Chains A and B, each alone.
Chain A
Amino acid sequence: MHWFSLEYIAMNLGFLLILIGLWGIITRKNILRIIISFSLFDTGTHIVIVAIGYIRNRTAPILDTLALQKDTASKIVDPLPQALVLTAIVIGLGVTALLLVYAMKLFETKKTLDIHRFNDLKW
């Protein structure tokens, strides 16, 4: 039954998103769809990392009530993975923006987004 508790659901969904993203990256032909698959992959890793820090029956690491401020360590989930994911989201945003601009440039040179048409480096 433990497969239906929240942390397992989040973990499985994260890995499912990673697999869908990987499938998209290796099978799709349109560059924009590859970039969307990359975003899915990225989001999947974020969900997995946040799920690692989750602890059952605990609350968010924001100490806004007096009850939370004493004996904090036994009442909150791990703040470290959340901070790391915050960093990862911003880096993912930067990488996605670069990918999109690069796709725009590729379209301008060949007027197509089909990945099989870009075979200049293939031998």
Chain B
Amino acid sequence: MLRNSLFLIVLAAFAVIAFTLVNAWHPAESLSPVAEHYATNGPTEVGAANLVTAVVVTYRGFDTLGEVTILFVTAAIIGFFLSLFHSESPEQTDRLMPASEILSTASKLLIPFMLVLGIYVFVNGHLTPGGGFQGGAIIASAFVLLLLADPLSKLNHRIIAMVESVSGVAFVLIGLLGIFLAGGFLDNRILDLGTFGALLSAGVIPLLYIFIGLKVGSELTNIIGHLQQTQKNR
């Protein structure tokens, strides 16, 4: 009883805080000075039609590098954590139920299209909604479907690790090239900015987003692959 009333007091306190915050908040009438700089100078400085991409990859590219690093560390910890307790035990695979006919047929049909959609989303990240993280998530979902349809299939962890590390190193190298050839770390003006709104425009943003997409896709696939391997031993 005392416990429940304590919970209630904590929740009520948070509700009061939230209500005061919303009550005192006024919707913005115009852009903040930083956003105004992005809106007026973004097209000429960065050349990306999608301003969110300009902010994520160029203006705050360092944040994105940290974000990719956090995702990498997460994947590494999960891989370490799961392999620590699941050292090669004899596999009991006979208890797994086979996937239904519909699922296995549909996965064969859908997986190529899902991979193409993922690649489309991250290649066009500087023009349309989407980008490396979204495209990478779509690619990883294709592999989830593959594992659902055939739970015994083995993902090749060596290839995944290779794609992941190559794209991570390429991301940092392109960033370092920016110091020598353009204005600073992760500056996108190493290549020509090109015509605004074309597929090959905005300097190295498409290239960077391809590497981010491959990295995120392989990291998420890696996590799922590790989880699936532990399921086999049950």
| A interface, over-half SS | helix
Residues of B within 8 A of A (CB): 7, 10-11, 14-15, 18-19, 21-22, 25, 27-32, 34-36, 38-40, 42-43, 49-52, 54-56, 60, 63-64, 67, 70-71, 74, 77-78, 81-82, 85, 127-129, 131, 133, 196-197, 216, 223, 227, 230
Known: A26-B7, A94-B74. A64 touches B49 (CB 8 A): yes
* A-side contacts of B25, CB under 8 Å: 11, 52
Chain A: CB-nearest residue to B3: A27
- Select one of A19, A54, A56, A79 contacting B39, CB under 8 A: A79
Known: A18-B18, A80-B38. A64 touches B197 (CB 8 A): yes
Known: A94-B70, A101-B227, A104-B230. A7 touches B27 (CB 8 A): yes
21 interchain pairs, CB-CB under 8 A: A7-B27, A8-B27, A23-B11, A55-B28, A55-B30, A62-B129, A63-B43, A69-B43, A76-B51, A78-B31, A78-B35, A79-B51, A79-B54, A80-B38, A86-B52, A86-B133, A87-B63, A90-B216, A98-B77, A98-B78, A101-B78
Chain B: CB-nearest residue to A11: B22
* B-side contacts of A22, CB under 8 Å: 10-11, 14
Q: How many residues of A contact B (CB 8 A)?
A: 47
Q: Are A97 and B27 in contact (CB under 8 A)?
A: no
Q: How far is the CA of A15 from the CA of B10 in the complex (A)?
A: 15
